[in-house]
Amino acid sequence: MKRRTKVAAVRGGLATAGVVGALAGVHALRRAGAKVLWPALRDEYRDENFDLIEQDRAGAVLTEDGVRLATRECGPADAPVTVIFVHGFCNSMESFHFQRRDLEKRWGASARLVLFDQRGHGRSGTPTAQSCTVAQLGRDLAAVIQATAPTGRVVLVGHSLGGMTVLAAAAQFPELFAERVIGIALLSTAAAEVTAAGITQLLRNPAIDGFRVAVHTAPALIQAGRSTARHVITPILHVSSYHGQVSPTLSRFTTLMIDQTPVETIVKFLKAIELHDESAALPTLAHLPVLVLGGTRDLVIPFRNSRALARELPNSELIRLARAAHMAHLQFPDIVNGALDRLLVRAGALEPADQRPSEVSSG
């Protein structure tokens, strides 16, 4: 009887924490100027096939500590350049849906696209808490490069935590970046100082601190009560993804992707993001063409982080999206894809668009 009472009390406490956390998160976002609802006049993605990636060639990469990373790829296996996409916190490789959909057609035989789920995300394996560091993600990326593109030229595209992953790889493997990496895209990300603003400030409230403790002391109970846990952290990620009008279907797609991230993964990586500082990697990238892109409405990684990155990277193109929040590559895919196309041209991997052979209809 006492045990039942104790379990009930814990569950009741979690439910209360969930409500308090949700209210605290929404209050923090409102105070920062975010809109909690995303109205839309039309749903242009109602018939969009967001499972497109399931058609791609599936594979896996085993990391140095035995975590299995799920991969997908499309495009010719012998393409002269491989473009590897690295997703963000609480996302999966599907977050690059529009890049995979449109750039495969645009680049044709010129490039192969490789996407993968970071450890603890999507279809990839579950890591230990100790291995959930940005430095380890950098080593994971190096393993993905070695396994999926052991030779040839490589372009890396990182969003949010994925951008931090790219920087961590550059810090640890400068020879790889000097010899084989020919271009970098850093989308809605930061080299350091994410503790001063953005997601770590938004997630600092008593309910979330209590939730972190609960995850470490009773992870099985937390995992079983995912609906409660979502109310603590994920509402902040939901409402900070977009700004202004957005397709309801796209909004649901993003929300589902966030909600499918295991609760333990969310908590394990929060501290890693807070401690992250990959500024030492920037000199390694100084010789490369770089795309730096951020949104002025991004509450997770504020645009000033993008501006700071561009200042340190002399060969960078800085794009400021005035209406974009954190998921700019999903809300404004045409702008992002055009910028990635220009990056490959600057990297020497593509001819300028007006010099490429046009598509010939077979009639």
The DSSP secondary structure of 75-137, one letter per residue, reads: S-TT-SEEEEEE--TT--GGGGHHHHHHHHHHHGGGEEEEEEPPTTSTTSPPPPGGG-SHHHH
What is the average pLDDT across 189-197? 68
What is the average pLDDT across 235-248? 85
User: What is the Cα–Cα distance from 354 to 348, expressed in whole angstroms?
Assistant: 15
Q: What three-state secondary structure class fits 288?
A: coil
- pLDDT at residue 363 above 50? no
Q: Are strands 153-159 and 111-116 parallel, antiparallel or unpaired?
A: unpaired
**pLDDT of 72:** 98
- pLDDT at residue 138 above 70? yes
111, 112, 180 from 81: Cα distances, Å: 5, 6, 10
pLDDT tens digits, 169-184: 999 999 999 999 999 9
Least confident of 62-76, 93-107, 148-162, 298-312: 298-312
Looking at every residue in the chain, the average pLDDT score rounds to 82
User: What is the Cα–Cα distance from 291 to 293, expressed in whole angstroms?
Assistant: 6
- Which residues is 344 bridged to in the sheet? none
Pick the CATH number of 38-197+244-350 from 3.30.70.2610, 3.30.70.270, 3.40.50.1580, 3.40.50.1820: 3.40.50.1820
The CB-based long-range contact list for 7-12 (8 Å cut-off, 24+ gap) reads 10/218, 10/221, 11/221, 11/225, 11/228
- Phi and psi at 189, nearest 5°, equal -140, 180
User: What is the Cα–Cα distance from 120 to 125, expressed in whole angstroms?
Assistant: 6
- pLDDT at residue 12 above 50? no
**pLDDT of 237:** 76
User: What is the Cα–Cα distance from 158 to 149, expressed in whole angstroms?
Assistant: 17
DSSP H stretches of helix in the chain: 2-31, 97-107, 134-148, 161-172, 174-179, 199-202, 206-217, 219-224, 226-230, 234-239, 248-259, 263-275, 282-285, 303-312, 328-331, 333-346
What is the average pLDDT across 143-168? 97
Under the phi-then-psi rule, with left for phi > 0, alpha for psi from -120 to 50, and beta for the rest, what region is 48?
Answer: beta
**pLDDT of 278:** 86
* Nearest partner of 169 among 118, 111, 224, judged by Cα: 118
Burial classification of residue 75, based on how many CB atoms lie within 10 Å of its CB (0-12 exposed, 13-18 middle, 19 or more buried): buried
What proportion of the chain, given as a percentage, has pLDDT over 70? Answer: 74
**pLDDT of 221:** 47
pLDDT tens digits, 78-126: 999 999 999 999 999 999 999 999 999 999 999 999 999 999 999 999 9
User: What is the Cα–Cα distance from 94 to 40, expressed in whole angstroms?
Assistant: 22
User: What is the Cα–Cα distance from 198 to 195, expressed in whole angstroms?
Assistant: 7
Confidence category of residue 296, pLDDT binned at 50, 70, 90: very high
- Which residues is 317 bridged to in the sheet? 291
**pLDDT of 207:** 46
Q: Is the dihedral of CA 323, 163, 78, 98 positive or negative?
A: negative
**pLDDT of 227:** 47
What is the average pLDDT across 221-229? 48
What is the average pLDDT across 150-161? 97
User: What is the Cα–Cα distance from 186 to 183, expressed in whole angstroms?
Assistant: 10
- pLDDT at residue 198 above 90? no
**pLDDT of 30:** 47
User: What is the Cα–Cα distance from 266 to 268, expressed in whole angstroms?
Assistant: 6
pLDDT tens digits, 24-76: 444 444 444 444 445 566 899 999 999 999 999 999 999 999 999 999 999 99
Domain boundaries, the chain: 38-197+244-350
What proportion of the chain, given as a percentage, has pLDDT over 90? Answer: 63
Which helix or strand (DSSP H or E) is residue 59 part of? strand 57-62
**pLDDT of 269:** 85
User: What is the Cα–Cα distance from 30 to 142, expressed in whole angstroms?
Assistant: 39
User: What is the Cα–Cα distance from 260 to 257, expressed in whole angstroms?
Assistant: 5
